[in-house]
Amino acid sequence: MYLNEEQQAILNGSQGETMAKIMKTMVMFGDAFGAEKMVPVTSKHNHLVTSFGLKVMSPVYDLMQQLLDAGVKSSQTFSVDPRPVDKNVPANFLQKLVFNKLMYTKQNFYEEQLHKLGLMSDDAFTCACYLDQVGNVPKKGDVLSWAESSAVVYANSVLGARCNRNSGIMDIMGSIVGYVPYFGLLTDEGRRATWIIKIETTKKPEAQLLGSAIGMKVMEDVPYIVGLDKWIGSELDDSACTYLKDFGAATASNGAVGLYHIENLTPEAKEQGKSLIAEGAKEYVITDAELERVKANYPVVWKNPDATPKLCFMGCPHMSLQQLKDWTDKVEAGLKAAGNKTVLIPTVFTAAPKVLEEFNKTEYAARLKATGVITSYICPLMYMNNPLCKKMPVITSSNKLRTYTTARYYTDDEILTAITKGGK
């Protein structure tokens, strides 16, 4: 790989041993992909995936401490994924014991490290950092050193920024050294589509089910999606962005998608159209039957498949402000139609602290609270990431949460029915 004078000097130790090791890490990483050069990180803020102070992840905190002790720091501030625990979320005595005494005992220590390393603010904990209320919104063409699969795919696809699917730790190292290797989704060639996805459904496809189907099919390739604008429009308004937030998270977690193009909607597809499609691109047709097939093939991993759900999580990735308002209306209407006053299953809607702050200023907040739904800033995945939750029948419309935990996936309509009228 070609390194300019400054980069070579850093590698040779001009800024100390730790900085040299960081540069070595980035160079070796780039070499694995045949990167020919390093390019500057240009976004205002970074985003990190590691937000949790898990005792067992001590190697990560030890490494962060090495960075702090060496005095190396990024010129960027950053947001970070959601906190793992919140006392407002239902948990029994044993769960609280496991969370606080066994699992997340390093949380305060790690948050102190994050502050020292450049955390944007005490409430910059969310996977949906790109929402306006949070304020980490990269510009089109910005080069990022982000991690968090759902944020990376959103930044690339909806905002037109350029970012590879970086891992945790690599995210902060790229930001500290100020350069990332130039390969993959940073290049024009790497952003061309090698799959054409034709949407031929008779109704608007469920975002997280469609994302799951496409992710499992194309894996890490770039899909060019035709026919989705018929259902979600050709403007990146609140509704379309929310849809793409959930769709993208599913493509990234059920597969490894870092970028998708939606014909007539996402910025590069609007500008370049079908010229984005690489020669020899494969084709995948999405029909109602195909989505049904994908959903029917999800494994049911509950101990008792017929168990009554004990908890419902919505908001993985974190919900948008508009989503919270829309769901308030839907839950109220569902309860009214069923003759119920409050939800029948303990239900948690998760969103960024800044989004919840805005939501709580609206009249919707009191209305949602009256339905019994709890709002929280946590990461549902982190909440469920323990053997106690493995035995717990949890439902969700998040395909990301389904992938990583024992939560069972249902469509939005099925979830609404379950929490307002009963049944699974």
Partner 1 sequence: MREFKGRVVTPGTTTAEAVVTTQGFNTLASMQMALQFGDKETKCGDQNNPELNGKPLCGKALCLPQTIGSTTGGLVLYCACSMKRQPACMLFSEHIDSLAAAGAVLASVWVEDINMPVIDCLGEEFLSYVKDGMTITVKEDGVVVVD
Binding site for partner 1 (CB under 8 A): 21, 24-25, 28-29, 32-33, 49-50, 54, 56-57, 59-60, 62-63, 103, 147-149, 152, 164-171, 184, 219-220, 252-253, 255-256, 299, 301, 385-387, 390, 403-404, 406
Q: Which is nearer to partner 1, 150 or 371 (CB)?
A: 150
Distance of closest approach, residue 60 Cβ to partner 1, in angstroms:
6
Query: What are the distances in angstroms from CA 66 to CA 3, 61, 132?
Result: 25, 9, 34
Distance of closest approach, residue 180 Cβ to partner 1, in angstroms:
11
Q: Which is nearer to partner 1, 24 or 140 (CB)?
A: 24
Residue type, 207: A
**CA atoms of 253 and 49, how far apart (whole Å):** 14
**CA atoms of 249 and 264, how far apart (whole Å):** 21
- Strand-pairing partners, residue 47, are 79
The three-class DSSP label of residue 81 is coil
Distance of closest approach, residue 387 Cβ to partner 1, in angstroms:
6
**Omega of the bond prior to 299 within 30 degrees of 0, cis?**
no
**Omega of the bond prior to 387 within 30 degrees of 0, cis?**
no
Distance of closest approach, residue 337 Cβ to partner 1, in angstroms:
35
Q: Which is nearer to partner 1, 67 or 159 (CB)?
A: 67
Q: Which is nearer to partner 1, 18 or 272 (CB)?
A: 18
Q: Which is nearer to partner 1, 60 or 331 (CB)?
A: 60
**CA atoms of 317 and 377, how far apart (whole Å):** 11
For residue 244, report the phi and psi dihedrals to the nearest 5 degrees: -70, -30
Distance of closest approach, residue 261 Cβ to partner 1, in angstroms:
20
Distance of closest approach, residue 166 Cβ to partner 1, in angstroms:
6
Q: Which is nearer to partner 1, 236 or 278 (CB)?
A: 278
Q: Report yes or no: 310 and 346 within 8 Å, Cβ to Cβ.
A: yes
